[in-house]
Amino acid sequence: MPPPGEWRCAAAIVPAGRTATFRLDCGNRTVNGFVVNDGAGYRAYVNRCPHVGTPLDLWPNELLAEDGRALVCSTHGALFEPATGRCTAGPCAGDRLTPLPLTLEGDTVVVRCVGE
């Protein structure tokens, strides 16, 4: 079991063009997040649209547009670059998803709470 403030999964669970959602216990709050593998690497973000604060996925772990090239907010259709979290279209254009610290430890993806 990972220590508090940390989430781990086998990198093989998130192949290129896929995502995985998770919950992190960060002190006295829970953070819902996700990992995306855009083929160039893994990124982790808080699962919250900067426009109104709703989760991006209406259905669990449904975060990518049909073509797999952008993250999409199911509430308003905003599109985000997987590599940067920048909103490229929709009501939050120019805003960004909140990144979470991610490292690879061998074949394991490790996401930690911000500041840990």
**pLDDT tens digits, one per residue of 83-115:** 999 999 999 999 999 999 999 999 999 999 987
pLDDT digits (tens, 9 = 90+) for 43-60: 999 999 998 889 999 889
Q: Which residues pair with 99 in a beta bridge?
A: 45
Fold (CATH) for 6-112? Rieske Iron-sulfur Protein (2.102.10)
* Exposed / middle / buried, residue 29 (Cβ in 10 Å: 0-12, 13-18, 19+): exposed
CA 48 to CA 73: how far, in whole Å?
9
Q: What is the mean pLDDT of the chain?
A: 93
pLDDT at 3 over 90: no
Q: Quick check: 46 and 101 in contact, CB under 8 A?
A: no
CA 21 to CA 17: how far, in whole Å?
14
Q: Quick check: 87 and 79 in contact, CB under 8 A?
A: yes
Give pLDDT, residue 81.
97
pLDDT at 82 over 70: yes
Q: Quick check: 2 and 103 in contact, CB under 8 A?
A: no
Sign for the pseudo-dihedral over CA of 11, 40, 115, 104: positive
User: For the chain, what are the domain ranges?
Assistant: 6-112
